[in-house]
Amino acid sequence: MENGHLPHYFIAVELSEGLKKWLALQQSKLQLTIGHNTYKSWTAEADFHITLAFLGALPAQQIEQLMTCMRKQESLLSDTVCIADLHFFGNATGPRVVWFGIAEEQKIMTFYSIVQKWLSNLKSPPINQSFQPHITIAKKCQKKWLTPLVLRKLDDHFSDCYSEHLKAICLYSIDMMSVPKYKCVYRLPLK
């Protein structure tokens, strides 16, 4: 326990170093196009992931239960997905979050369903929220910037795709004071 508070956790698809480097390059192109100060928070290269479930603060007993569910999981088959297309959550001219989508969402949804089964085994499972598979690039918009002209520039700069062979699902702990902010505390390899 840190300062009397329970650590926060989430479950996510782990990304390869190659994809993280590609995402960091895309992020740099975005920063050059819209300005670095447009967002308060830019995801660090080491922290890129595809969230499957945000768990929040959980006691050690529930984390142990969750890791037991993960250990008992029969082999999960790996798959390849295409990371493409820049998207936005929030305000139309100053979106709160900038993210990359996954072209084959159904492949990620399979993992999401399995994670929801694991969570249902906890004594007090986290609330099941709507789910949109994505990789966050930036968040906490500080100024309006999204105009039709900028959108055209973004379409020109972000038209390629990165194919990723998924290798693992991880249970991450969050330490907002560190870089990277996320630490894999349990890793479930995909076959």
pLDDT tens readout for residues 36-59: 999 999 999 999 999 999 998 988
Q: Which of 183, 157, 129 is nearest to 25 (CA)?
A: 157
Q: How confident is the model at residue 2 (pLDDT cuts 50, 70, 90)?
A: very low
Q: Is the confidence at residue 128, as pLDDT, over 90?
A: no
> For residue 4, what pLDDT is reported?
60
Report the range out of 2-6, 57-61, 146-150, 181-185 with the highest average pLDDT: 181-185
Q: How confident is the model at residue 90 (pLDDT cuts 50, 70, 90)?
A: very high
- Average pLDDT over the chain, rounded to whole? 90
Q: What is the Cα–Cα distance from 162 to 145, expressed in whole angstroms? A: 26
Structure tokens at 108: 């990620």
**Tally of CB atoms within 10 A around 37:** 9
What percent of the chain shows pLDDT beyond 90?
65
**Domain spanning 8-189, CATH architecture:** Alpha-Beta Complex (3.90)
What percent of the chain shows pLDDT beyond 70?
95
How far CA 184 is from CA of 47, 114, 117, in Å, comes to 10, 19, 20
- Catalytic positions are 49, 134
> For residue 22, what pLDDT is reported?
95
